[in-house]
Structures are given as structure tokens and as C-alpha cells.
A and B are shown apart, each in its own frame.
Chain A
Amino acid sequence: MIGSIEVRSLSRSFHTTVRRPGFTGALRSLVNPERAVKHAVSDISFDVAPGELLALLGPNGAGKSTTIKMLTGILTPTSGEARVAGVVPYEDRERNARNIGAVFGQRTQLWWDLPVRESFAILRDIYEVPGAEHAARLKEFDDILELSSFWDTRVRHLSLGQRVRCDLAAALLHDPPVVFLDEPTIGMDVVVKEQVREFLRHQVEQRGRTVLLTTHDMTEVERLAERVVLVNHGRLVLDGTLDEIRRKYGSTWQVRATLADAHTDVVPPPGITLLRQEGPQVVFGPDGPDAPTVHQALKAVIERYEVTGIAIDEADLEDVMRAAYVHAGPGAEGA
């Protein structure tokens, strides 16, 4: 289907040479190298619907980039299958290339010694984009990314933010239905990040592009993604909405209440535990896997006690993801 991504039991292993420590070890590795197999991605399955923005998350070395490289056709999986816009990417690279755009972090695809517009023109020729279509699309990108103020500058003289904006435009100039973005905003300032987010929202909502995004920036995930796939140690740990992830790993809220009567006998509602009590000040937290959400807890506390003040501290997504990464250690089962 145009714009969809289907991943079935995708795995990729690499054969590496084990480097032994020290001079003798290095010599032994040279004469008698010891081979090891590294499973970068193991049995991952997920789907991305046309027009959906999916965040592929995980700590460094989790297998995100390897997955993206298989989906872009750069890398052939050891086993499993993937289809991007109906094409098996590693079997038909050139056909797949017409359906996808990609940005790999700070690695630019622009021509270093040429003005940005020349790079765009070369890509136009490579992708066989008609001139009028190319001009219209450039204008559309310029409206959001403000490229025209520097697109006559040589790439080597651009700032990081300018360059990444140009790279984003370059990746979409041929109007691909599917876009892969591997940490596109890494190292950028907040203003440019917001500009890029607006651009991506526009591409998903107005142009209906399917976007697979990897990032370590949780603000970006909150602003852009409704659905998240979490991988760790090459395995899929969770595939769900942000709410589901919060429910599973984000139950680190606290409800701080000031009781009207400091001598109240505090017996917390079910699923809630008393963390601290200092006179009329009490702090509640979640208790066990069936703990209520922070809003349910707030309601329960107000209903049970007479309070003169109440506040909540909810874990932000970064805390949630940290908890998820810790829970999803080696051998964690898929959710």
C-alpha cells in the first residue's frame, strides 16, 4: 500500500572480531581472530499506516538505526521481511528510493562545495522531478523552513540548523510518500527545532506523508507522535500510544495534599500509597501495577479527605522513557 510500512520478524546480525585487551591480546586477535555474532535487531514486527508519524525510540545501540537502514534498503536483513510502500526495500533499492526520503542526523546529503540550490537542482535531475513541480515544492518548503535567505550559500558555510533544514527539504523534494528521519534535530537550537517540528507536522497532516522518526528528544515525541515503538537490545519492547506508555511506565506521579485536620487518620484509597506525612502535609504515590492514573488519584484523594490545598507532580515523558528503558533490559518480553 502506498505510504505504509510493514515489518515482519525483522532480524539483523553482524559478525564482528573480538578485540582482546593489551598488546599480546591485539597480537592474538591479529593471528587468530575470534569471531562473535552481534544481534543488532531481533525479530521486530510493526506496521506504520499511511499518513502516520511513528516514533521509533530506544537508548543508544538499541537497534533503531539498523532498523531504519533495512527499511531504506541500505542493509539486507538476516531474516524476516519488510515492505515500504509495497516494495521490499533491500531487493529493489532504486524503486524503493523513489518512494522514500531520508535524513540521517548530522550527515548531510547536500554537495559540500555547491550552493544549496545547486544541490536541490541535482536531486531534481536524479529523481526526474519536472521543473514546475520542483519550483512549487521549493516554495512550499521555503514558506515554513525559510530556506531562501541562505540557499545561495555554499553548504560548507551553513550553520547546523540551516543545513538540517536544507537536508529535510532535499529529502522531500521528490515528494516521497514515506520519510525516515534518524535523529534529525540533534544538536539544533530550540527555535530551529520548533520550525522543523512544524514542517514535519505539515508534511504529515497536510501532505499525508508517513514518517518514521527516531529521536532522543522527548519534547519532539510529545509534540509529533501519537504512537511509539520502543526497542531495546534489538528487541521490540512496546508498541503503543503515548498514553499507554505512560500508563505502563509513567506511574511515578505524586499527589501532595494539605489536610484541613492535621490529625486525620490517613488510610489511602486502593492503588495509592502514603509516601510521607508531616503534620497536615501528606504525599501520595502509586501502589502496585493497578495504580490509578494521576487524575483518578487526585479525584480519590479529594473525595476521601477534606483538603485545603492539593498539587500534583507528574513524571514527564523523559522520566517515563527512562523507566521504560530500565524495565526493558536484556531479555525483556515484547509488550
Chain B
Amino acid sequence: MAVLHAWRAARVTPLGELHAPPRMTAVLVRLIVQVVLVASLWNGLYDRTTVSAGMSREQAVTYAVLAVLASRLRELDQYAGRDTVIQHMHFGTIVYWYLRPLSPARYHALRALGEQVYGAAWALAGYVVCLAAGVVQPPGSAAVGGVFVLSMLLGQLVLYHVMLLLDQMCFWTVRNSAAMLILIFAQNLMSGVYAPLWFFPAWFRTLSTFLPFQATLNVPLSLYVGRIELSDAPLQLAIQAGWVVLLHLFTRFLWRRAARRVISQGG
């Protein structure tokens, strides 16, 4: 199968970044600024209290900083390189995805895998530095750490499919800028990047359970800081896995439909 040999297509994003040092510098600076500001903000918010929304200062700061680091895992910038669906649709080069012995769905997945592994390297490096500097706390136990890693993987799968939906939209609309803005806002708000979901009203958290965003970050981060007990982990992991299956089936259906749209939109 071509996919076995083509796994190296996953190196497209890391290679592209390594060939563009200014982009890497920008990522580094942004990450440092974001971590410093977020840690300062949450430390400041806890100046007059020790526990809020069921979270201690350490839990809140750790959650917020990890959320910043984790948001690096999948860059939402679709204009940085030309190898994104929106760019291929714009330049009409999407036809080449259909001229190779590797299906567009598999190629897209390989590309995303490389992108997420590359992002994970950044996040991990940031995590090690923050842990050493005492900005974030280590997981409560090895079991918590293990469950966190599993939950994070599932969360990234959910995020991949959400991003894929956005890409697939381009086959019908060519451009997806408006949808992307909405999605970025929804993703950041409802996954816990802006603030831990525990600080939002109950109705908001209930609403979030019907959407996939909280499964991307809130669940793994809450497990990490202990806001979700280890005993509740199986249910949360099952919900995450459910989202993965649901989104996978839906996006697979859309890939089949999208193949019929290649010419009329990207010819």
C-alpha cells in the first residue's frame, strides 16, 4: 500500500518550517510571550483567593499554561504554506491530490500527523522548561500522567477531524475564512485555551458537552490537574473516542462527496 511508503509525506510541515527560520523564531517568541502573560494573569487572579471554580492556583495556572502549549500542537494558520486545502483550491492545484496513488484523505492525514508531531515537539520542549521553572506542576501520579497522554492523543484526533471538516468545506465554498474565524474562536473558547471551562457557567459547560471542542483540550488538561478524578477517566475517554468515531465517519463521507467537486471548484 502506498500509504506505508508515503509516511514520509508527514515530514512536509517540519521540513518547511526548518527551511524558514524566521517562522520558527516567531513561534518561539509568541510561545514565550503567551506563557509569561497567561501565567502572570492566572497568578494575579488568585491573589485574593486560594480556590476558585473548584481549582487551586496551581491547578489553574498549570491548566492555563498547558493549554497555551497544547494549542501549538496544530497550527490553525492555513496560509503559511501552499500545501493546505484552501490554498490548493485557490490555485487549482488540488487536482494533483487526485493524480497520485495515495488518496487525498490519506495524504491529508499524513500531512496532519507530521504537523501535529512537529507541534508536539514544541509543546514538549515548552513543557519541560515550564516544569523546570516551576510554572506548571507535574501530574499527580504516573497513572494520571498515562491517562493524560492517552486523553491528549484522543483529543488531538478530535481536533484533527474538526480541522479536516473546515478543510473539506473548501470543496463547496472555495474559501473558508469566515468559518475558520468562527472555528478558531469556538475552539479556543470551548476547549479551555482562553480560560479553563470550569470558570464558565454551568449552562455553558452543559452546552460544551454537545460539541467536540471540550474533548480536544479541556478533558486531558482537567485530568492532568486532577479537576477530573481518575475514576471518571474511562467515561471521559469513551466520550472522546465516541467523538473520534463520529467525526471520522462524517469526514469520510465528505471526502467521497468532495471528489465530485474537484473540477467545478478547483479545476
Binding site for B on A (CB under 8 A): 14, 65-66, 69, 72-76, 93-95, 97-98, 100, 102, 104, 107-109, 111-115, 118, 121-123, 125-128, 154, 156
Tell me if B19 and A107 are in contact (CB < 8 A): no
**Shortest distance in angstroms between B75's beta carbon and chain A's nearest beta carbon?**
13
From the candidates B2, B7, B20, B96, name the one contacting A113 in the complex (CB within 8 A): B20
Interchain pairs with CB closer than 8 A, number: 91
Tell me if B2 and A94 are in contact (CB < 8 A): yes
From the candidates B82, B83, B102, B263, name the one contacting A126 in the complex (CB within 8 A): B102
Expressed in whole angstroms, the Cα–Cα distance for A141 and B101 within the complex equals 22
Residues on A with C-beta less than 8 A from B263 are 66, 69, 74-75
Expressed in whole angstroms, the Cα–Cα distance for A66 and B11 within the complex equals 33
Q: Please judge, given known A-B contacts A72-B99, A73-B98, A100-B99, whether A154 and B19 are in contact too, CB under 8 Å.
A: yes
A-B residue pairs, 7 tightest by C-beta: A112-B82, A113-B16, A109-B96, A97-B101, A126-B6, A128-B5, A94-B101
Residues on B with C-beta less than 8 A from A154 are 19
Asked if B44 is at the interface of the complex by the 8 Å CB criterion, the answer is no
Residue of B nearest to A70 (CB): B263
From the candidates A74, A122, A156, name the one contacting B8 in the complex (CB within 8 A): A122
Within B81-115, which residues are at the interface with A (CB < 8 Å)? 81-83, 91-93, 95-96, 98-103, 107
Q: Please judge, given known A-B contacts A69-B263, A94-B2, whether A107 and B95 are in contact too, CB under 8 Å.
A: yes
Expressed in whole angstroms, the Cα–Cα distance for A112 and B12 within the complex equals 10
Give me 8 other A-B pairs in contact (C-beta within 8 A), A73-B99, A123-B100 excluded. A74-B263, A100-B99, A107-B95, A111-B12, A113-B19, A114-B12, A122-B6, A156-B82
**Shortest distance in angstroms between B26's beta carbon and chain A's nearest beta carbon?**
15
Binding site for A on B (CB under 8 A): 2, 5-9, 11-12, 15-16, 19-20, 81-83, 91-93, 95-96, 98-103, 107, 260, 262-264, 267
Tell me if B99 and A113 are in contact (CB < 8 A): no
30 A-B pairs with C-beta separation under 8 A? A69-B267, A74-B99, A74-B262, A93-B98, A94-B101, A100-B99, A102-B99, A104-B92, A104-B95, A107-B95, A107-B96, A109-B99, A111-B12, A111-B16, A112-B82, A113-B15, A113-B16, A113-B19, A114-B12, A114-B15, A114-B19, A115-B19, A118-B15, A121-B8, A122-B9, A125-B6, A125-B7, A126-B2, A126-B9, A126-B101
**Shortest distance in angstroms between B265's beta carbon and chain A's nearest beta carbon?**
12
Expressed in whole angstroms, the Cα–Cα distance for A17 and B107 within the complex equals 33
Residues on A with C-beta less than 8 A from B95 are 69, 72, 74, 104, 107
Most interface-central of B9, B93, B101 (chain A CB within 10 A): B101
Interface of B is mostly: helix
Expressed in whole angstroms, the Cα–Cα distance for A102 and B99 within the complex equals 8
Residues on B with C-beta less than 8 A from A66 are 263
Expressed in whole angstroms, the Cα–Cα distance for A264 and B96 within the complex equals 67
**Shortest distance in angstroms between B82's beta carbon and chain A's nearest beta carbon?**
3
Expressed in whole angstroms, the Cα–Cα distance for A117 and B101 within the complex equals 20
Expressed in whole angstroms, the Cα–Cα distance for A65 and B262 within the complex equals 14
Residues on A with C-beta less than 8 A from B98 are 73-74, 93
Tell me if A112 and B15 are in contact (CB < 8 A): no
Residues on A with C-beta less than 8 A from B100 are 97, 123, 126-127
**Shortest distance in angstroms between B14's beta carbon and chain A's nearest beta carbon?**
11
Tell me if B93 and A94 are in contact (CB < 8 A): no
Residues on A with C-beta less than 8 A from B92 are 104, 107
Most interface-central of A65, A95, A109 (chain B CB within 10 A): A109
Residues on A with C-beta less than 8 A from B6 are 122, 125-126
Residue of B nearest to A171 (CB): B99
**Shortest distance in angstroms between A111's beta carbon and chain B's nearest beta carbon?**
6
Tell me if A112 and B101 are in contact (CB < 8 A): no
Residue of A nearest to B95 (CB): A74
Expressed in whole angstroms, the Cα–Cα distance for A115 and B11 within the complex equals 13
Expressed in whole angstroms, the Cα–Cα distance for A65 and B95 within the complex equals 12
Expressed in whole angstroms, the Cα–Cα distance for A94 and B97 within the complex equals 11
Tell me if A94 and B8 are in contact (CB < 8 A): no
Tell me if A125 and B5 are in contact (CB < 8 A): yes
Expressed in whole angstroms, the Cα–Cα distance for A175 and B43 within the complex equals 62
Tell me if A127 and B101 are in contact (CB < 8 A): yes
Residue of A nearest to B103 (CB): A94
Expressed in whole angstroms, the Cα–Cα distance for A69 and B95 within the complex equals 9
Residues on A with C-beta less than 8 A from B9 are 122, 125-126
Expressed in whole angstroms, the Cα–Cα distance for A185 and B5 within the complex equals 32
Residues on A with C-beta less than 8 A from B8 are 121-122, 125
Expressed in whole angstroms, the Cα–Cα distance for A112 and B96 within the complex equals 14
Q: Please judge, given known A-B contacts A94-B2, A122-B8, whether A111 and B83 are in contact too, CB under 8 Å.
A: yes
Expressed in whole angstroms, the Cα–Cα distance for A108 and B99 within the complex equals 13
Tell me if B81 and A113 are in contact (CB < 8 A): yes
Residues on B with C-beta less than 8 A from A123 are 100
**Shortest distance in angstroms between A80's beta carbon and chain B's nearest beta carbon?**
16
Expressed in whole angstroms, the Cα–Cα distance for A93 and B82 within the complex equals 24
**Shortest distance in angstroms between A24's beta carbon and chain B's nearest beta carbon?**
25
Expressed in whole angstroms, the Cα–Cα distance for A102 and B92 within the complex equals 14
Residues on A with C-beta less than 8 A from B15 are 113-114, 118
